Structure 1
Amino acid sequence: MNKGSCLCGAISFTVAGALPMGSACHCTKCRKHTGHYEAGVDVPRSAVAIEGGEHVTWYHSSEKVRRGFCAICGSSLFFDPVHRDWIGISLGAFDTPTHTKLAMHIFVADKGDYYEIADGVPQNLQ
C-alpha cells in the first residue's frame, strides 16, 4: 500500500499495489500547475482511495483533462484524463517510499529555459 497526502493533510490517498514507473512532463500546462515540471505515476482508478475528497478542487485544463489540487494548501496532486481508466498522481505527494523511478521525460520541447535534464532518462519532444 502506498500512502500520500497534500501539504496540510486535508487530503490523503492510498494506492493499492506496486507503483509503475513514472514520467516527468515538461509541457507548459504542467509547469504552470506545479511551478516546475510534473513528475507522476499513472495508476488504475480502481487502485486509488481518496480521503478528504471534499477538499480537492478540480480545474479543467482542457476538454479531456482535469487537475486536482488541495483547496486549502494548494498542493498539486492529481492529473485526471476523465475519459481514461487511470489517474495520474504526483510523485512528490507520496508519504511512503515509492520504490519506482522515472521512465521518461515528455514534452521536453516545452521545458523551461532555466534547467537542464541530465539524469540519463529518455527524453521525448512530445
Structure 2
Amino acid sequence: MFKGSCLCRAVTFTVTGDLKAPNACHCQACRKATGHYLVSTDVATDQLRITGKNHLRWYHSSDKVRRGFCASCGSTLFWDPLFHDWTAIAMGAFDTPTKTQMDLHIHVSKKGDYYDITDGLPQNQQ
C-alpha cells in the first residue's frame, strides 16, 4: 500500500497494488497547473481511496480531463481523464516510497524554454 497527501494533509489517499512507472508531462496545461512539469503515475480507480474529499476541488481543464487539487493548500494531486477507469497521481504527493522510476517524457514539444531534458529517457513529442 502506498500513502500520500496534500501539503496541509487535508486530503489524503492510499493506493493498493503496484504503481506503474511514472511519466513526465511537459504540456503547457501541466506546467501552468504545477509551476513546472507534472510527473505522475496512473492508478486504476478501484485501487485509489481518497479521504478529505470535502477539501478536494476539481478544475475541468477540458471536456475530457479534470485536475484535482486541495482547496486549502492548493497542492496538485490528481489528473483525471473523464470516461476512463484510472487517475494519474502526482508523484510529489506520495508520503511513502513509491519503488518506481520515471520512464518517459511526453509533450516535450511544448516544454518550457528554461530547462533541458538530459536524463536519457525516451521523449515523445506529443
TM-score relative to the length of structure 1: 0.99
| Percent of aligned positions that are identical | 60
Q: Tell me the amino acid that sits aligned with residue 49 of structure 1.
A: R
Structure 2 gap segments, 5+ residues each: none
Give the root-mean-square deviation of aligned CA atoms: 0.4
**Match for residue 55 of structure 2?**
55
Partner Cα separation in structure 2 for residue 75 and residue 15 of structure 1? 18
**Match for residue 73 of structure 1?**
73
Partner Cα separation in structure 2 for residue 89 and residue 53 of structure 1? 15
User: How many pairs align?
Assistant: 126
Q: CA deviation at 1:114?
A: 0.4
Partner Cα separation in structure 1 for residue 121 and residue 89 of structure 2? 20
**Match for residue 43 of structure 2?**
43
Partner Cα separation in structure 2 for residue 56 and residue 14 of structure 1? 15
Partner Cα separation in structure 2 for residue 87 and residue 103 of structure 1? 18
Partner Cα separation in structure 2 for residue 120 and residue 8 of structure 1? 34
Partner Cα separation in structure 2 for residue 84 and residue 120 of structure 1? 30
Structure 1 stretches of 4+ moved >2 Å:
none
Q: CA deviation at 1:82?
A: 1.4
Q: Tell me the amino acid that sits aligned with residue 117 of structure 1.
A: I
**Match for residue 111 of structure 1?**
111
